[in-house]
Amino acid sequence: MPFAVVTGAAGFLGSHLVDWLLGAGYQVLGIDNFVTGNPANLAHLEHEPRFDLLVQDVSEFLSVPGKVDQIFHLASPASPIDYLNLPIQTLKAGALGTYRALGLAKAKGAGFLLASTSEIYGDPLVHPQNEEYWGNVNPIGPRGVYDEAKRFAEALTMAYHRSHGVKTHIVRIFNTYGPRMRLHDGRVVPAFIGQALEGKPLTIFGDGSQTRSFCYCSDLIEGIFLLSQSALADPVNIGNPTELSILEFARLICRLAGLPERLEYKPLPVDDPKQRRPDITRADKTLGWTPKIDLETGLRETIDWFRAHRPEARRGGAE
Ligand code: NAD
Ligand code: UDP
């Protein structure tokens, strides 16, 4: 049976990846210190014999007995609120955590996949963003702790690939949403859905003209899995190219939730990227991957999930 390690397994994407791997016949070891994760995301696996959880900081030495075939390194605070609250932990997860996870891959002869991010493009001067673009990041701004940690993690991953021959992959994940996001992680999807369901005004940062492109979690996980099975070491964007402004997005959430439109304007955070849309030509050509779930379908699923699971979605992380 193939054996996979998933760091960040108690998080939003990590827990979906664990479910996918179990479905594909893997034995899985999750590693998480719950700094932003939620035990509820793994509760359904309590009696799953093919799943184990190691509660540990990924920045510390990782000891895993036996063979390992594939490591998926997702552990990192990931929402702007989380990484602004946890700047040093974020830098450590990206730098030391990636170093530990790559060391484990090298020792075990395992494949390694890094969960990188569209944030490595910063506030992009090229639109849409393809993998050749080097980005426009402010290294000393408040978001720099996340962006630069991921840029260092990419550099370290390529160094282990070139110097040690580790079979590595880098996925640049664009804004992804779905069930199991934390209600109060500050990202725009849970923020707007939570506000809409609680009858509060939706908080638009800035004038709402900044754009994002939202990918449903099952599409993202499928892309990650296909990449891990490929021979591709170069970074690959995975995201849904449907782009809309944050104001359009707020209106869409209100319409889909069947609730009146109430908006409130707040200051735009420092270094908030003005536009973002993935160029997914590489994923399409090399992996045969394109997203299947359109935004309205994915958002309806997500709104339904938050309606049913708000108490557990409040848990987890630093709250
Ligand atoms: P999340 O916060 O839900 O999950 C991250 C998980 O990592 C949490 O369970 C947390 O407890 C764990 N973690 C953090 N630091 C750790 C450490 N030092 N040791 C052990 N565990 C640690 O976030 P997510 O949205 O699921 O993101 C997962 C990964 O995907 C992250 O690496 C993130 O940078 C990347 N990513 C996500 C998105 C997105 O839109 N969701 C976009 C780009 C990149
Ligand atoms: N945003 C907003 N209101 C909120 C939360 C976020 O207008 O309550 C904006 C935020 O300023 C950004 C966009 O929505 O322009 C996406 O924010 P998110 O934190 O989800 O992701 P990121 O900025 O990392 O893409």
Cβ–ligand 1 distance for 52 under 6 Å, the answer no
Measured in angstroms, how far is the CA atom of residue 138 from the centroid of ligand 1? 21
Nearest CA to ligand 2 atom 14: 188
Using CA atoms, how far residue 295 sits from 178, 196, 236, 240, 285, in Å, is 11, 17, 21, 9, 23
So what's the pLDDT on residue 319?
47
How far is the CA of 267 from the CAs of 130, 198, 205, in angstroms?
Answer: 29, 22, 5
Kindly state the percentage of the chain with pLDDT values over 70.
Answer: 99
What is the model's pLDDT at position 311?
77
Q: Looking at residue 316, what is its pLDDT?
A: 76
Query: What DSSP character marks residue 68?
Result: -
**Best residue among 5, 7, 12, 72 to mutate for probing ligand 1, ranked by most atoms within 8 Å of CB:** 12
Tell me what pLDDT residue 130 has. Answer: 98
Pairing of the two strands 51-55 and 27-32: parallel
- Contact status, residue 11 vs residue 74, Cβ threshold 8 Å: yes
The torsion region of residue 122 among left (phi > 0), alpha (psi -120 to 50) and beta comes to left
Asked if residue 234 lies in contact with residue 167, where contact means CB atoms within 8 angstroms, the answer is no
Distance 79 CA to ligand 2 centre (A): 9
What pLDDT sits at residue 270?
93
pLDDT score of 312: 80
Instruction: Answer yes or no: 146 catalytic.
Output: yes
In this structure, which ligand is nearest to the CA of 203?
Answer: 2
Ligand closest to CA 36: 1
CATH superfamily, domain at 3-309: NAD(P)-binding Rossmann-like Domain (3.40.50.720)
Ligand in nearest proximity to the CA of 210: 2
Which residue lies with its CA nearest to atom 25 of ligand 2?
A: 175
Write out residues in the chain with pLDDT < 50, as ranges. Answer: 319
Q: Cβ neighbours of residue 37 under 8 Å, at least 6 residues apart?
A: 8, 9, 10, 11, 14, 316, 317
**Per-residue CA distances from 127 to 80, 168, 277, 284 (Å):** 22, 27, 7, 18
User: With a 6 A CB cut-off, is 93 part of the ligand 1 pocket?
Assistant: yes
CA of 258 to the centre of ligand 1 (A): 31
